């Protein structure tokens, strides 16, 4: 949930455009045919409702862009896209309860990404649904849920991941930091979920492990022996860097 708006914008929009591109090459105007529905199951209420609203705006942009070019071409002609928003309330239980509504509405594409816990519940149910009713199959589109297990231990044929998982990102970051010997400590400004667990996993003898001095827990609270340095993504020995990162400031100011 800490991704920048521009990154969210392009990833969410790319989901819709990829769907359209996968169905056909659009060159004509949409006829008066039923829409291809896309279900978005996200927390539209609760403490992270703003994150869900941001995803909805970006996906609507993608839908409008595809429809402006004529929609998507199927065997019977051109169909517009329609985004159906279902409130998962930011929890696995509520999101799980919304999935049957999408299936009953014969929505073939379900999208989610603001939590790695939600896809685990949804994908398991989608696997069973597709095996039970192959004529009402559902494809799960994951635009940002970063748990590596989703495409490893819990891999599903009906799950498509658009984004790099947490292990890939942390590996890339660790490789970059390994080459910068001035970096002594790393501050993880994220919740205690996939990214922090990826940091804790062993990366082999060749991987130089730096001290993790602080992180945000799952409630967003800072856990650090020096919380006033919480703004720092990395902590260098250079005193000028320490001053620039707000050595004497307070987190949140």
* DSSP state at residue 150: G
- In-domain check, residue 250: no
Query: d(Cα 217, Cα 227) in Å, to the nearest integer?
Result: 13
Instruction: Measure the CA–CA gap between 128 and 10, rounded to whole angstroms.
Output: 31
Mark whether 178 and 240 lie in a shared domain: yes
Contact 249, 230 (CB under 8 A): no
Does the reported pTM lie above 0.75? Answer: no
* Each residue's pLDDT tens digit, 100-124: 999 999 999 999 998 888 998 899 9
Same domain as 142, residue 118: yes
Q: Structural domain tally of the chain?
A: 2
Assess contact for 130 and 138: CB atoms under 8 A. yes
Cα angle at 184 between 181 and 186, to 5 degrees? 120
Q: How far is CA 144 from CA 5, 14, 33, 122, in A?
A: 13, 12, 31, 15
- Looking at residue 131, which CATH number applies to its domain? 3.40.50.2300
The answer to whether residues 186 and 147 belong to one domain is no
**Residue at 251 is within a domain:** no
pLDDT digits (tens, 9 = 90+) for 51-70: 999 999 999 999 999 999 99
Encode pLDDT of 31-54 as tens digits.
579 999 999 999 999 888 999 999
Residue 98: give the domain boundaries: 5-161
Task: Output the six-digit token pair for 236.
Answer: 């260098």
Query: Are 197 and 229 in a shared domain?
Result: yes
Q: Are residues 58 and 18 in the same domain?
A: yes
């Amino acid at each position: 949930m800490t991704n920048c708006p521009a990154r969210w914008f392009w990833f969410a929009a790319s989901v819709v455009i990829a769907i359209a591109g996968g169905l056909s090459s659009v060159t004509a105007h949409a006829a008066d045919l039923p829409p291809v529905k896309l279900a978005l199951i996200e927390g539209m209420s609760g403490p992270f409702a703003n994150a869900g609203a941001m995803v909805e705006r970006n996906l609507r942009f993608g839908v409008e862009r595809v429809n402006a070019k004529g929609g998507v071409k199927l065997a019977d002609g051109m169909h517009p896209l329609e985004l159906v928003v279902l409130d998962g309330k930011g929890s696995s239980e509520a999101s799980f309860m919304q999935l049957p509504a999408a299936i009953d509405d014969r929505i073939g594409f379900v999208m989610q990404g603001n939590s790695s816990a939600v896809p685990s519940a949804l994908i398991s149910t989608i696997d069973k649904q597709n095996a039970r009713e192959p004529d009402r199959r559902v494809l799960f589109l994951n635009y940002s849920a970063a748990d590596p297990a989703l495409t490893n231990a819990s891999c599903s044929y009906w799950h498509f991941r658009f984004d790099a998982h947490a292990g890939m990102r942390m590996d890339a970051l660790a490789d970059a930091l390994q080459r910068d010997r001035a970096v002594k400590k790393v501050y993880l400004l994220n919740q205690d979920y996939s990214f922090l667990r990826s940091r804790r996993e062993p990366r082999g003898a060749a991987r130089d492990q730096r001290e993790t001095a602080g992180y945000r827990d799952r409630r967003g609270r800072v856990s650090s022996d020096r919380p006033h340095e919480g703004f720092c993504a990395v902590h260098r020995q250079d005193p000028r860097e320490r001053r620039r990162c707000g050595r004497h400031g307070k987190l949140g100011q």
